[in-house]
Amino acid sequence: MKSKKRVIVAMSGGVDSSVTAALLKKDGFEVIGVTMCFNIPQGRSKGSSCCGIEGIEDAKKVAGILDIPHYVLNFGQILEEKIIKNFCLEYIHGRTPNPCVRCNQFLKFDGLFKKAKELNAAYLATGHYAKIIYSRSKKRFILKKGKDKKKEQSYFLYSLKKEVLPFILMPLGNFTKEEVRKIARNFKLQIADKPASQEICFIPDDNYRLFLKSRLPEKYFKSGPIVDIKGDVLGKHKGIAFYTIGQREGLGIALGKPAYITKIDARKNLIIVGSKDELYSSGLIAKDFNFISMDYPKTRLVVKTKIRYNHKEVKSVLTPIKRNCIKVEFESPQRAVAPGQSAVFYDKDIVLGGGVIV
């Protein structure tokens, strides 16, 4: 890394972003910490929110210890327009959104990246467990998985534009979470053992159903039938926005055997349930693609596909079928493919790109 260059570090008040700032200062960068705030209700959540008052205060304390400037910037409008509205719309259309992907796409690596440029910074740095390196063979910067197999976050980063990769730093890609906590202790940072936030930051009490009811008109929670694959009515749902593919609990039906949501038909206000075996799919269609470590494929391509963050990758074949729309065929059927979630494609530890499941 080149020293004495200005870098903006996205500081949430957690251990990851704090150690990112500490490492970069140690490496000779001119580090400026920035915390994004959103003016959102905090609720009574037990975990620590990445963008609440506690996070801002912790980030300021860390900046003081490291002797770096720290600023709080309001990104509430972008959060509302790009993430929260999409979150609500996806659920009322029977899909399951991934707000963390859109947060990276529109907040960190668009809105905050632009702010970093306004501040004449050479780089924007984050505490993600992933790697950005220059590939001599590909003659481009590429995104790779982080060292920590349990913590690595490349799945959430596929939407980064290839044009910004040269200006993004992710120092934690070569560390495990425990190594990061140890580094925080060595820097005498009081947040060394702070628990990681496990919740969606803009949802109080981690209750997305209550959040949707507070944001949307009552007409979007119209009751409708729960049916089996034959169309026989088994019960009633409370509004399709409250349900997701693969859900078993809270259906209010008793069949004498486990039943899972296999499909949600928003147009007909229907929820279709079936057996565990009926949850499996041989493939999917995805759109709204971003290919980050390669160009958009023109022919069939063999990759590994991940359909959820905690999902095990499966060998797949990608086939472009029309503009920005790709068919994915799995080597073996996969459970609970949910529209709205992201399908992300890998070549070993390289993130090729991804898109949204339709």
The residues assigned a catalytic role are 103, 201
How would you classify the pairing of strands 325-335 and 280-291?
antiparallel
DSSP letter (8 states) at residue 209: H
Decide if 171 contacts 24 (C-beta within 8 A).
Answer: yes
Decide if 6 contacts 125 (C-beta within 8 A).
Answer: no
SS3 77: helix
Residue 342 to residue 324: CA distance in whole angstroms: 14
Q: Cβ of 57: how many Cβ atoms within 10 Å? A: 12
Distance of CA 225 to the CA centre of its chain: 32
Residue 126 to residue 133: CA distance in whole angstroms: 15
Q: Cβ of 72: how many Cβ atoms within 10 Å? A: 13
